[in-house]
Amino acid sequence: MTRSELVRRSGVSKQQLSRLENGVIRMRLDHLKPFAAVLGYTPEQILLWGHYPGMPGSGHVESSEVLREEGPHEEPLGPAPGQVPELDTRAGLGGGGLPAREVRREGRHADPLKAEGWLFPRNFVREQLHTAPGRLLVLETNGDSMVPTILSGERVIIDTGHKTPTPDGLYAIRDTFECIVVKRLQVLRTAHPTRVKIISDNPNHPSEEAPLVDLEIVGKVLCCLKLF
């Protein structure tokens, strides 16, 4: 079912649906009633499953920063409900990159997403990553600045709800060109105002420093998906 069909049959406006998808409105049980009536399930069943029955994914209902736009034929695009989105680092760039129709909005940025997302077991997210599925984001790294910790092409899982660089460790930040990169951050707490040391694990790449207030942190890196 496309968004337009769901909106038409449920009576919920597209604006309201987008506000729910973006987490502008915190999801409550009564928000699910119009959709449950259309889909033939109770709101309690949808809340328990965390996704529309018959669709991939699982987990409880989470607020999301993913906006789903429709093509000319209103075909659903992007990660399905319950999937963790992955940034598409090639979309919208020069040299043959294609503009994405699905984006993750954060402040003044609109980061393009890949058409397919990731599915992680709920126990893994809760007990190992210690976060919620709606806060996760997958990023494919590029370059050798974090070698040997992270190799180019390896993917990392980011907790976008953790935007304060404490404790010190690996974080996804926006660089000078507003690209999202992974760096090791160390807060220089004795500096006034507080400054942050931005470290590349590869000794061939020099470290930098920046005022904490000028640093845009996308989230904390929780783990790396490695291939052997």
- Domains recognised in the chain with CATH numbers: 3-122 (no CATH), 141-225 (2.10.109.10)
Q: Would you state the pLDDT for residue 47?
A: 65
pLDDT tens figures, 158-197: 999 999 999 999 999 999 888 899 999 999 988 889 999 9
- The chain-wide mean pLDDT, for the chain, equals 79
34 dihedral zone (left: phi>0; alpha: psi -120 to 50; beta)? alpha
Q: What percent of the chain has pLDDT above 70?
A: 78
| Strand runs labelled E in 113-174 | 136-140, 155-159, 169-174
- The whole-angstrom separation of Cα 60 and Cα 63 is 10
Q: Over range 42-63, report the average pLDDT.
A: 52
C-alpha closest to that of 201 among 170, 159, 225: 170
Q: Which residues pair with 116 in a beta bridge?
A: none
Task: Report phi then psi at 8, rounded to 5.
Answer: -65, -45
Reference 21, options 42, 46, 3; nearest CA is 3
Mapping DSSP to helix (H, G, I), strand (E, B) and coil, where does residue 223 land? strand
pLDDT tier for residue 203 given thresholds of 50, 70 and 90: very high
Listed in sequence order, the residues at least 6 apart from 71 whose beta carbon sits closer than 8 Å to its beta carbon are 77, 101
Residue 216, phi then psi, degrees to nearest 5:
-100, 110
**What is the predicted pLDDT for the residue at 178?**
86
The more confident residue out of 62 and 82 is 82
Q: Is the pLDDT of residue 65 over 60?
A: no
pLDDT recorded at residue 63: 38
Rg value, the chain, Cα = 19
Establish whether the linkage from the previous residue to 53 is cis, with ω within 30° of 0: no
What's the pTM value of the predicted model, to 2 decimals?
0.63
